[in-house]
Amino acid sequence: MPTPTSADLARSRRFALVALLVGAFSIGCSPIFVRLSEVGPISTAFWRLSLALLPLLAFSGRKIGKPGTALPKRPLEHLLVAGPGLILAVELMTWHLSLRLTTVANSTLFANLAPVFVALGGWLFLKQKVSRTFILALAMSLVGAIILKGGLAFDGAGHIAGDTLAVLAAALYAAYIMLIGWVRQRYTTAVIMIWGSLAASVFSLPVALYLEPALLPTTAFGWAVVFGLAWISQAGGQSLITFALAWLPVAFSSLTLLIQPVVAAALAWVLLGEALTPMQMIGGLVVLVGIFLARKS
Q: How far apart are the first and last CA of the chain?
A: 32
Share the mean pLDDT of the chain.
Answer: 77
Q: What is the pLDDT of residues 257-290, one digit of tens each?
A: 666 667 766 777 777 676 667 776 777 677 667 7
pLDDT computed for residue 3 by the predictor: 57
The residue-averaged pLDDT of 138-150 equals 70
Contact 27, 235 (CB under 8 A): no
How far, in Å, CA of 196 to CA of 85, rounded? Answer: 4
Contacts with 281 (C-beta within 8 Å, 6 or more apart), sequence order: none
Q: C-alpha distances in angstroms, 48 versus 32, 33, 129, 196, 235?
A: 13, 10, 36, 13, 9
With b meaning 16 or more CB within 10 Å and e meaning fewer, what string describes 154-186?
eeeeebeebbebbbbbbbbbbbbbbbbbebbee
Beta strands in 212-287 (DSSP E): none
pLDDT computed for residue 50 by the predictor: 92
The residue-averaged pLDDT of 127-149 equals 70
**Exposure of 12 by Cβ count < 10 A (0-12 exposed, 13-18 middle, 19+ buried)?**
middle
Confidence band for 1, pLDDT divided at 50, 70 and 90: very low
With residues binned 3-state (H G I as helix, E B as strand, rest as coil), the percentages for the chain, rounded to 5, are 75, 0, 25
Confidence band for 155, pLDDT divided at 50, 70 and 90: very low
Note the helical H segments in 68-131: 75-101, 104-111, 114-125
How far, in Å, CA of 40 to CA of 3, rounded? Answer: 51
Q: Looking at 68-72, 101-105, 214-218, 260-264, which range is the least confident one? A: 101-105
Confidence band for 207, pLDDT divided at 50, 70 and 90: very high
**Exposure of 67 by Cβ count < 10 A (0-12 exposed, 13-18 middle, 19+ buried)?**
exposed
Q: How many CB atoms lie within 10 A of CB 110?
A: 23
Sign of the dihedral through C-alpha 235, 12, 28, 176:
positive
How far, in Å, CA of 101 to CA of 90, rounded? Answer: 17
pLDDT surpassing 70 at residue 156: no
pLDDT computed for residue 113 by the predictor: 72
pLDDT computed for residue 106 by the predictor: 63
Q: How many CB atoms lie within 10 A of CB 120?
A: 14
Q: What is the DSSP string of 181-213?
A: HHHTTTS-HHHHHHHHHHHHHHHHHHHHHHH-S
pLDDT computed for residue 258 by the predictor: 65
Q: C-alpha distances in angstroms, 108 versus 86, 150, 262?
A: 21, 11, 11
